[in-house]
Structure 1
């Protein structure tokens, strides 16, 4: 979706209004400014600046993968799913939060993965869910590690052992106890989780065949 698309501006304005309402009515935190990244692909990205830093640790969510906003925080990031993106939005946010939790654990020595303060699978403002996370100033990690991932980071990842419940092929989710477990794919039209790689590829191929049957182009 182009940043110049009028529909895009309407969506962003509604999301900014939602962010102000969320903090002021539910958390009693005054938002001074919301700055939105012009271009959106999978998510709309909003930088939220508070009128004053958080006075004390603020618990705004009891969901797994979320922690309290630390005292002294003056800026956070709110990611809202783009309805135009080809995702299963019913599971995308939970999958992302669970993945961030595991990635933080795997890269614990580098401190480059934002902490999550709150999240919602669906609902306002776009029906696609949102994530409220830590603002981490610094360089763009894609540009920094475009060609080579540091050996230290490789060591952390290669030595990281997945939780037993997250050994399936697909996406990630949380179980009733808050532990990370295997879940369905966030990408449409795939499902899962699958017990092994062979069944995953079979399932993905079957999903593609079903989609092809629905395609006017494939039907001629």
Structure 2
């Protein structure tokens, strides 16, 4: 007889789409408790300590979200992956605290690092209300879309106006030091950094791409027909030229990077929880990683900070809004 842990096992497996064109960055679970919490540890009687970047679960909480990081996803380095997500979430929470009430950023209740070999990284966070914007967006009229985009612009403005802590000194990812302060660290999607400048972050990734091309038996470093010489010339001289006219090139801000790249998860009930996983692009996706209230049109959540990092303000437009076109 199967144990209680095996109940609905096949249903959970059946939900995963083996033909999905995306690797799952995380396995995300909506956990509904049988009854709301009757107490919290946020009062003066609590003598314990909290992990950096976390707060107590509030009294009355019934719904939570658990994110289990996928260690097998290509191109994501685990050393500071979880720490970066927690730190970024805290910065965004602070940046948007005055512009959006109630808060649209989930609070973090606990986390586990993925730095150790084979460690399962995880984040326990606040459940945010609302539905994904991507599907309803295509059905909205012009005025509804304008109202939603105005809120998105307000988010970007607040993020870019926020003054980062002085402990963040470079371009790249984030982690926590021994004192619990947020400090600069390697960028999880690159596995390197922090860099002293915006230009240096581009330069490194171009150099890394060329090293990978050198080891590729098919591309062979792009050396045929003099192409590599032209690429090297661009990296050495063309890239610096692109940054010469960039205004405020030393500015550093939180960059979400993923307003519109990956569709919102689909959701299904599984064994007392709700399991959410990425699905393929819809035909006409709208903004993603944003939840909203369909009745009021108000954005209720900005979620998913897997690709977020500290960079120049222009980078948000290169990644989240690349369809707008334009140059530095």
Q: Same fold (TM over 0.5)?
A: yes
The 1:74/1:58 distance shift into structure 2, 3 A limit, reads farther
Q: Residue 61 of structure 1 contacts residue 67 of structure 1 at CA under 8 Å; is this kept in 2?
A: no
Supply the distance in 2 between the matched residues of 1:123 and 1:193 (Cα, whole angstroms).
Answer: 17
Task: Report the Cα offset of residue 61 of structure 1.
Answer: 7.2
Among 177, 181, 186, which residue is 2:179 paired with? 177
Supply the distance in 1 between the matched residues of 2:49 and 2:209 (Cα, whole angstroms).
Answer: 37
Among 108, 125, 128, which residue is 2:97 paired with? 108
Gaps of at least 5 residues in structure 1 are 1-12, 18-33
Partner SS state of residue 124, structure 2: strand
The 1:142/1:192 distance shift into structure 2, 3 A limit, reads farther
Deviations 1:105-135 (A, max 9, x none): 11113111100000011289x7340100000
Alignment of structure 1 residues 48-63 onto 2, 5 Å? 48-58=31-41, 62-63=50-51
Among 99, 114, 129, which residue is 2:88 paired with? 99
Are 1:198 and 2:186 matched, yes or no?
A: no
Q: Which has the higher contact order (CA 8 A, sep 6+)?
A: 2
Task: Report the Cα offset of residue 38 of structure 1.
Answer: 5.0
Among 56, 61, 66, which residue is 1:73 paired with? 61
Q: CA RMSD in A?
A: 3.4
Supply the distance in 1 between the matched residues of 2:33 and 2:16 (Cα, whole angstroms).
Answer: 21
Q: Which residue of 2 aligns with 1:159?
A: 161
Task: Report the Cα offset of residue 82 of structure 1.
Answer: 1.6
**Number of corresponding residues:** 188
Q: Which residue of 2 aligns with 1:122?
A: 114
Supply the distance in 2 between the matched residues of 1:141 and 1:171 (Cα, whole angstroms).
Answer: 28
The 1:208/1:117 distance shift into structure 2, 3 A limit, reads same
Among 22, 28, 32, which residue is 1:45 paired with? 28
Alignment of structure 1 residues 29-44 onto 2, 5 Å? 38=16, 41-44=24-27
State which structure, 1 or 2, has the greater radius of gyration over its C-alpha atoms: 2
Supply the distance in 2 between the matched residues of 1:200 and 1:217 (Cα, whole angstroms).
Answer: 27
Q: Residue 185 of structure 1 contacts residue 192 of structure 1 at CA under 8 Å; is this kept in 2?
A: yes
TM-score by length of 1: 0.72
In terms of mean alpha carbon deviation, does 134-143 or 163-172 score higher? 134-143
Partner SS state of residue 60, structure 2: coil
TM-score by length of 2: 0.50
